[in-house]
Amino acid sequence: MKIADIKAYPIHDDVFVQIVTEDGLSGIGDGSLSGRSRAVVGALEHIRDYLIGHDATRIEHIWQDIFRGTFWRGGPVLQSALAGIDIALWDLAGKALGVPTYRLLGGASREKVMVYRHTGGGPPEELIGDAHRLMEEGWRAIRISPMRGSDPFNQKAATRRGIEHMGALRQAVGDDLEIIMEVHTRLTPPRAIELCNGIEPFHPFFVEDPIRSENPVSFRNLRKHTNVPLGTGEQLPTKWLFRELIEVELVDYLRVDLSHTGGITEARKIAAMGEVHYQEMATHMTGTVVNTLASLHLNMAVPNCAVQEYRPPQDWEKEVFQWDFRTDDGFLAPSTAPGLGVEIDEKALELAKSDPDAKKLIRLGVKLTRQV
């Protein structure tokens, strides 16, 4: 099953990768890197000629050869390009064999994957209203972002606001709802310690990115002075950058984003590293249905999945993609469709790539396939 062509579809901050084989099969991947999408496309142009003619079933070999094939390795741009390729190859593998991708990763270790939904960071009454609405819809976990909202950012005020919002929300919704506190790397270690200790009585699921993730030693200090569960990793593009966080047990949840971290192949290895230290996956979502499905198939297979970030597909995605997964009382479950369970309308995707207003047109309900 040789690779005949590789196509990149940059659409604003999203980058989709399609790999086509000589026998006409195609797989779709997601290499999105917000704010650096053109750089990812440039990396894909470098890789394209190398890949054509390769056996598409040699996924590990292709991953290693792209990563190690030049002196320069890793980094978010190269790893996002590699992720798009890797996810597309796993999609292709499932389609070629007629089975869901998770079957190729060892089979299902669970029937479905718990997901969490987003709420805003507005006034507590707005936050509480959003949480009650999501609970009524059956969702069991949410993420709140009260740290945002001040410009310029005031760490003292943001920390106080985060503690107040978390306390008000927990009192309003009770103990059953899982609540993730998103900090988005905005705090210094002393302020992060203050926040974590302040919200500890309200039992957060975990605190997401309390500080920046580049320096694991800083997490050592944070860990020493706090008791709440911690999660980080969406900015880390390789298993080597997760290594110290995992081996020294500085976090509890690994926030791997498959579209930034080399795809399914690398994320699966990070999950295995974390399993040894009783850490669980809480996969980050880069923002597309392809990323959602890639994460879902990985999480179906690995034994240490806690939760997956989820946002319902946007209107424009409904015009470009056809997918097959279901939501079930706060969980996602894949179908038995081969591969990831997603197909693309290539004409619609081409228009979305070439027309800067394509997303706007789709949101207005214009049928793109009729315009091509």
Tens-binned pLDDT, residue by residue, of the chain (372 aa) = 999 999 999 987 899 999 999 999 999 999 999 889 999 999 999 999 999 999 999 999 999 999 998 888 889 999 999 999 999 999 999 999 999 999 999 999 999 999 999 997 788 999 999 999 999 999 999 999 998 765 678 999 999 999 999 999 999 999 999 999 999 999 999 999 999 999 999 999 999 999 998 898 899 999 999 999 999 999 999 999 999 999 999 999 999 999 999 999 999 999 999 999 999 999 999 889 999 999 999 999 999 999 999 999 988 888 889 998 899 899 999 999 999 999 988 888 777 776 655 555 444 444 433 232
Q: How far is CA 40 from the centre of its chain?
A: 17
pLDDT tens digits along 260-276: 999 999 999 999 999 99
Which pLDDT value is given to residue 372?
27
pLDDT value of position 28: 97
The candidate with the shortest Cα–Cα distance to 81, out of 266, 270, 259, 295, is 259
pLDDT at residue 152 in the model: 76
What pLDDT, on the 0 to 100 scale, is given for residue 314? 86
Domain ranges of the chain: 3-101+344-370, 103-340
Residue 290 confidence (pLDDT): 97
Tell me the one-letter amino acid at 182.
E
Taken in order 20, 90, 66, 74, is the CA torsion positive or negative?
A: positive
CATH of domain 103-340: 3.20.20.120
Architecture of domain 3-101+344-370 in CATH?
2-Layer Sandwich (3.30)
Q: What does the block give as tokens for 108?
A: 């299902």
Q: Among the residues of the chain, which ranges form H helices?
A: 37-51, 59-68, 76-97, 101-104, 124-136, 155-173, 189-199, 216-225, 239-247, 263-276, 289-301, 315-320, 346-354, 358-363
Tell me the β-bridge partners of 141.
178
**Model-level pTM?**
0.94
pLDDT for 330-353, tens place per residue? 999 999 999 999 998 888 877 777
